[in-house]
Amino acid sequence: MEFENTIGLETHVQLKTKTKMFCSCLLKTGCEPNTNVCPVCLGYPGALPVMNKEAVKLTVMSGMMLGCEINKHATFDRKNYFYPDMAKDYQISENGQPLCLGGGVEITRADGTKKFIRINHIHLEEDAAKINHYAQSSGVDFNRGGTPLMEIVSEPDMESADDAILYLTALKEMLVYAGVSDCNLEEGNMRSDVNISIRPKTGEGLPLKADGSIDFSKLGTKVEIKNMNTFKGIHAALCYEAKRQRECMAHSIPIVQETRRWDGEAMETTSMRSKENAHDYRYFPEPDLVPVELSEEQIAEWRKLLPEKPEVRRARMVADYGIAEYDAEVLSQHKDNADYFEEAVGQFRTIGKDSASPLFDKKICKQLCNLFMSDVMALMNASGKAIGECAMTPAALAALVKMSAAGTINGPTLKELLPEIFEKGGDPEAIVKERGLGAVSDTGALEAFVDQAIAANPGPVADYKAGKKAAAGFFVGQVMKLSKGKADPKIVGGLVAKKLASL
């Protein structure tokens, strides 16, 4: 029998706030354990929570980026469980009335087909503390405890490990664009609980009830893999678990509802515990917090803060600048790169005084794009610096491209100056003028160099006359040396060809 996967993700995203969710403790990484704590996040009796408004704002902005309906009346609940990472034995979360409902993310698969991955809801809660395990003991660091945490719960719309990674990649991109989280997987800013089951393949999609909702009773037995914080690990765990469940079915071994962990060394999942249901947590309304009440005016104000969505930006960059779709996709993957590129493009309007300037055309935009995609990104990779950390301003990069397009400097000079300005900054036009690096384009001066090169090299001249046309390239190189690299290679090539043809 052939089976198909049903995959859903619960993605936890730490929000980019200065302080914790319900107290004023600072959120800082790399601090000594248990130094950013207080009676509230340590769960001392009598300590009362105070809601972080910025966390509510960032959650709502996330929901708007993802097309969710914003719940104007949201409430907090206590999720009760006993574990060392939660000192007060309950987590403050949103169970019954979360801030964001619905929405989703569109993914494009490798074969070009698109699929919309729906979001069930987004709720806001506090993060648990971090348990560190040592050789003979374990310790609990409450610095992370109380961090504003957004949980994005998808519908089980994903059918493969590839779908899951495409969904997470798109999700991360939009959240980073909106500035709500760094989504740094290494620091645990973004973690996912992965749910997967298998069922006989019908090709008819998810089973639905009469009201259009998913009929979960007709899905396979769900297995959850907890706290995955790398895309590579999530992909591998889903592939393994899908195979394991199929093998269970093939050998008539019951699949039980449980929570499993991923062992990255053994490359397998192992059982942790039987899966809890919602009633096991004994949710009840949080008595120390009032509901979140949002007005249309407040939501509208926050909506104004949203950036352009990445997919919209990609389409606009292709249309406005004439760059390739692939280039627009690579540039827009990191908002800082796309912002830098567009600011540099904007400099052509400034240089040309108005948008009708011949300097502002798609040809020069493509040239700028090619330079950024190849040389600038190579410098970023080699130096380990993000574009915002280098000394070269967008105006400086635009000036280099402008001088190259105008023939003021040639290609070799551009390649020579770029690494220096990337590291040290400076005004390219002033540097070219000060060092006398301007391109030699005077035909008379270049013809003199050509005559000098031909006169000094009778051997290559004889080779050319004997039919070895490649010898012309030798003379172009000689002229470049005589001009100290300042000659325009294209002009030189034409002069050399003309002169040799006349011999």
The phi, psi pair for 206, rounded to 5°, reads -70, 140
The mean pLDDT of 368-378, rounded to a whole number, is 96
Q: What is the pLDDT of residue 445?
A: 59
What does pLDDT average to over the chain?
90
The pLDDT tens digits of the residues spanning 380-399 come to 999 999 999 999 999 999 99
Look at residues 359, 356, 309, 355 and name the one whose alpha carbon lies nearest to residue 335: 309
Q: What is the pLDDT of residue 352?
A: 47
Q: What is the pLDDT of residue 354?
A: 46
The phi, psi pair for 13, rounded to 5°, reads -125, 120
Write the secondary structure of 220-250 as one string of H (helix), E (strand) and C (coil).
CCCEEEEEECCHHHHHHHHHHHHHHHHHHHH
The mean pLDDT of 157-163, rounded to a whole number, is 97
The phi, psi pair for 108, rounded to 5°, reads -120, 115
The mean pLDDT of 49-75, rounded to a whole number, is 97
Q: What is the pLDDT of residue 139?
A: 95
CATH 3.40.50.150 assigned to domain 443-501? The reply is no
pLDDT-wise least confident of 122-126, 160-164, 311-315, 467-471: 467-471
Q: Provide the pairing of β-strand 3-14 with 268-274.
A: unpaired
Q: What is the pLDDT of residue 485?
A: 67
Write the secondary structure of 5-47 as one string of H (helix), E (strand) and C (coil).
EEEEEEEEEECCCCECCCCCCECCCCCCCCCCCCCCCCCCCCC
Q: What is the pLDDT of residue 460?
A: 72
Q: Where are the alpha helices (DSSP H) in 353-488?
A: 362-371, 377-383, 394-406, 411-424, 428-435, 443-456, 458-465, 471-482
Q: What is the pLDDT of residue 431?
A: 93
Q: What is the pLDDT of residue 486?
A: 67
pLDDT band at 182 (very low <50, low <70, confident <90, very high): very high
The residue with greater pLDDT, 36 or 187, is 36
Percent of the chain with pLDDT over 70: 93
pLDDT band at 444 (very low <50, low <70, confident <90, very high): low
Distance in angstroms (rounded) separating the CA atoms of residues 247 and 286? 44
If DSSP codes are grouped into helix, strand and coil, which group holds residue 487?
strand
Parts of the chain belonging to CATH 1.10.10.410 = 443-501
Q: What is the pLDDT of residue 350?
A: 59
Q: What is the pLDDT of residue 353?
A: 47
Highest mean pLDDT, choosing among 162-176, 196-210, 392-406 = 162-176
The mean pLDDT of 46-75, rounded to a whole number, is 97
Cα Rg of the chain (Å, integer): 31
The phi, psi pair for 379, rounded to 5°, reads -65, -40
Q: At what angle do helices 489-501 and 443-456 cross, to 10 degrees?
A: 60
Q: What is the pLDDT of residue 276?
A: 62
pLDDT band at 49 (very low <50, low <70, confident <90, very high): very high
Concatenating the DSSP letter of every residue in 170-224 gives HHHHHHHHHTS----TTTTSEEEEEEEEEEE--SS-S-B-TTSSB-GGGS---EE
Neighbours of 174 (CB within 10 A): 20
Residue partners of 430: CB distance under 8 A and separation at least 6? none
The pLDDT tens digits of the residues spanning 345-358 come to 998 865 544 444 54
CA distances from 319 to 328, 330, 370 (A): 10, 16, 16
Q: What is the pLDDT of residue 443?
A: 63
Cβ(92)–Cβ(49) under 8 Å?
yes
The pLDDT tens digits of the residues spanning 276-297 come to 665 678 999 999 999 999 999 9
Burial of 283 (0-12, 13-18, 19+ CB in 10 A): middle
Model's pTM, two decimal places?
0.83
Q: What is the pLDDT of residue 1?
A: 82
The residue with greater pLDDT, 102 or 445, is 102
pLDDT at residue 116 is higher than 90: yes
CA distances from 246 to 7, 221, 290 (A): 15, 12, 48
pLDDT at residue 328 is higher than 50: yes
Residue partners of 246: CB distance under 8 A and separation at least 6? 3, 198
Q: At what angle do helices 394-406 and 428-435 cross, to 10 degrees?
A: 50
